[in-house]
Structure 1
């Protein structure tokens, strides 16, 4: 009995020692079992002799091959802390790794039926996966390799505690540093994710995961900072954006709620077909100085839903404010309200809405279709009928100085059009219309009741074509001209080689008719050589333009005027007007000053006597006109004066020199255009 008790005492005395000797094998078993649960090959571990609270592993290297991937894990200087009694129960207090490296190589392509069973993922057990109550990796390196080439690398730390997982990793893509990735996860499945470059945050997001028997729900609030650093990062990873996008800076906030099926397909088409999402987008952006704008700010709000491969943007509201670097800076704001529907299965986008802008005279409506697979589509747009006069007032600061004298009294306009496009080409079609437009130029020239309808086309090759019709009731500029009414067509390529062709048309002036043949010329640099046919001009109305006291005439004239327009200048050479077969009458009663000249010059007296009552049967008038306004009239008068020398035949040749531009300016300034002309034509 005494010997049995002695043996028991000895065993009890040796128990702590035996426990101490068994600790390496217990810890080794726990760590090996955890690695095997993660799918790694069975490792062999060399443990140093432990203390009562910790033991040390110099080196560990294991690998796993699964789904075409080879994962290698290597760790150095591993410290395991424990409570001896808890260790015997299979629990470690802390696992601390000084340096660990995990490499993932190869990736088997997803097959059409590849999927992930979310029901097998138990987020509530994620914090129980660690082999200890706390897992700390001081230096963690993750490598993603493709065909033995290092593509992605992340280096940082990881800390897993019972109530939180957090990590900070420096990302590198093909040896180019990108920035820092920060992540965190709580047992309640609330996660955060952040990405920064230097001290500048580029992305932050918070997520809430809610698993259920039907699927997973993900609530996400995200914010993206647009900056040069972000665009530099996108260039590194191969995401190309238009050059204009790099001028944007600001914040983009996106709130979304996603519902995922339990069997999650990996193919994008199937994933979109089974994913339901609602989202709200809010963007506040600024554009730095460009050649078009001194500064611009963009505010965009959108709300939509994704369901059964249909993306519905129920609300798209945007506002763009810009500073125009004009002679006087102008602040402009553009407001967009739209909705869109994206059929992801058919790769089709339908959109419609309105656009308001200070540069637009009315609210622009648009409606379009885009084929996403080939980026081809067509957008129809319309500006409803609007008043033209306020439009000119609004755009006064935008008009070049050469157009400042233009004033619009009244009139309406409208515009419809379409834009067709594909990756390498586009075509813009416009259908403008003007109705009952009254305008004047520098208060000296007035155009009344102008109507215009046109159909124009312009494409990516700068080719311009179109046709239309122009109707003008009359023009007043010291002389009232009625018309024209003509059809026209445009064809050519900007900025040169444009041809404007007009149909034959006529003008009514001085109760006569001026017929203009079909013309074709460059509207930006017109060079015209044509002949105008003139008929039924009233001599009385012609003489009224050059009021000479005591002068009267009647009769009808007709003929041709060869007109040359070159380099913006007009000239006429050998124009001819002939009286009709009925002839006419010229009566001149000279003023005392002119009569005195006749007394001093017999030749002048002879002509004055003959013109007191000249009944002519021929009036042959030739005209030469120079671009500076100087005109030479050569007139031959043949007839008789019943009261002079028993009605003997008279044949006179007269030369008259006059500057028609000066005469025209005189007519324009005499009591104003409208009053002068109305008085002449109403008497």
Structure 2
């Protein structure tokens, strides 16, 4: 019997099953169901077959071999085959023959033990429609090779049910990395194929498994507490590109990305792929805190994203909500759309009621204190070289407040020249009515503040009005390193900073 070549990936599994059934049914073929009645019984048969290579919609399977131990019950109405332990179909290699992304499956083994196949010889329709399969199935792939995956063993264990024309495989997909998922494969026709994937894993285990599975998993990303749930549906239809939709749920997930700690991430991330459009959506996203030295949070996000699948990171990001609590106040990004294909990206952050007292508490300089709150706007530009701020502005909310800055610290920051003496004296106990500051930040991490203060020190010159203009500079990466070493951030962040300083020969002292 000559089998027609399968016309799509959906028909691959049916073709493998069908070639086995055809070996048995071919020997018993009758042209009419109403032929002279006959029966046939084989309690213990064995076949060792070398099968021809198959090319399947751009894929080629080579080195196909069937080692079958079975029992057969046949008549002029139907053929029933039960595969016994030891029944196995092996394929040395399945490789993609077309497309720009290479992929290979090495040493594929299909264990057929205790699987039953029934062929109804009397029913109308093509052979796949008259061939029913049921039983346990195990598919073992010694190595999967793909540019985005680390080579390793994968295996599927579950049950097969249905006809060759409408076949379903349901079970569990596993990898040596520890990645595991419930999987349902359905082939409704020669050109219709769907896959449903669902998994729930502890965040730490999922992070370790993904790091051992994906070649491009960020090296410095590690997940800790919490839980991840993924559900995805993939669809292939005749002459149509792959379509998919998926959602990923986060439940109280914590982790560390490089030198930033994240805690209590919850919410849902939605994906969809249709034709030439990739969409994603952030829904009900809430982050307890993001901490690189100064904590920001809770954070709330709501956004949509759309891109061409050929350039997934160069799409349109539409922000509906982006707010965060910060130092007793609030940060907000107004709703806007950002074109990620065109840098620099511009985002304006509005600042409300930031506490000057808390700001000075986190600054690593003893003795600084103050009262009052700040409001303003910070225009952020993301360039190819990094993050930049040009002419941001903060100002104190009326009626102002108070600043207390010890002389020794100020002299270290401003110098001990005669010109700075009045500034140092005034800021020992400065009652301000006006506090305004310009903010500039370059891609190298240098922060420049142009500070203007109006007020008085009741202990200086009888409380005469004083106007101060001060220019300050701060190395933000160095400041954050100091804060990260101070023990205020996640221990993993502190340890990473120490390791980097040791590697560079610097002293790890906050």
Given candidates 117, 122, 135, the residue that maps to 1:315 is 135
Matched, 1:664 2:480: yes
Distance 1:521 1:577, change over 3 A: same
The offset of 1:654, in angstroms, is 0.6
SS at match of 1:673: coil
Which structure would you say has the larger Rg?
1
Residues 401 and 433 in structure 2, CA contact (< 8 A), matched pair in contact too: yes
| SS class of match (2:103) | coil
Distance 2:227 2:150 in 1: 28
SS of residue paired to 1:581: coil
TM-score by length of 2: 0.76
Alignment match, 1:624 = 440
User: Could you tell me how far 1:225 is from its partner in structure 2?
Assistant: 0.3
Higher relative contact order (CA 8 A, sep 6+): 2
Aligned counterpart in structure 2 of residue 507 of structure 1, from 305, 324, 330:
324
Q: Is the 8 A contact 1:370 1:376 kept in 2?
A: yes
The residue that corresponds to 2:188 in the other structure is: 370
Contact between 1:204 and 1:223, CA under 8 Å: does it hold in 2? Answer: no
CA change 1:424–1:501 in 2 (3 A) is same
SS of the residue aligned with 2:225?
strand
8 A contact 1:465–1:489 mirrored in 2: yes
Mapped partners of 1:676, 1:535: distance in 2 = 32
Structure 1 unaligned runs (5+)? 1-202, 235-239, 262-273, 678-683
- 2:19 is matched with none
**Residue 520 of structure 1: SS of its match in structure 2?**
strand
Change (3 A) 1:636 1:277: same
Q: CA deviation at 1:399?
A: 4.2
The answer to whether residue 394 in structure 2 is matched with residue 394 in structure 1 is: no
Please report how far the alpha carbon of residue 213 of structure 1 lies from its aligned counterpart in structure 2 after TM superposition.
6.6
How many residue pairs are counted as aligned between the two chains? Answer: 442
Contact map agreement 2:64 2:89 (CA 8 A) in 1: no
Q: TM-score, normalised by structure 1?
A: 0.58
Contact conserved, 2:183 with 2:198, CA < 8 A, in 1?
yes
Equivalence for 1:517: 334
Task: Extract unaligned runs of 5+ from structure 2.
Answer: 1-22, 97-101, 124-129, 494-510
Q: 1:437: Cα distance to partner?
A: 0.7
Matching of residue 304 in structure 1 with residue 117 in structure 2: yes
Summarize the Cα distance change of 1:549–1:363 in structure 2 as closer, same or farther, 3 Å threshold. Answer: closer
Q: Hey, what does 1:224 align to over in structure 2?
A: 49
Aligned residue in 1 for 2:161: 340
Choose 303-312 or 520-529, whichever is displaced more.
520-529
Aligned with 1:466 (options 273, 280, 283)? 280
Q: CA RMSD in A?
A: 3.6
Q: Measure the CA separation in 2 of the matches of 1:515 and 1:584.
A: 24
> Any residues of structure 2 matched to 1:40-59 within 5 Å, and which?
none
- Alpha-carbon displacement from aligned partner over 1:544-566 (angstroms, at most 9, x marks no partner): 33333443221111011111112
- State the shift of 1:387 in Å: 1.3
1:602-634 per-position Cα deviation (integer Å, ceiling 9, x unaligned)? 332222222222111000111111011111101
Q: Distance in 2 between matches of 1:206 and 1:494?
A: 46
**Is 1:456 paired with 2:456?**
no
Give the aligned partner of residue 282 of structure 1: 88
Classify 1:593/1:300 alpha carbon distance in 2 versus 1 (closer, same or farther; 3 Å). Answer: closer
Q: 1:474 to 1:320 in 2, by over 3 A?
A: same
Give runs of aligned pairs for residues 142-157 of structure 1, distance below 5 A.
Answer: none
Distance of 1:389 and 1:330 partners within structure 2: 22
- 1:218-265 deviation digits (Å, cap 9, x = unpaired): 758544303xxx34xx8xxxxx6445334333335375636444xxxx
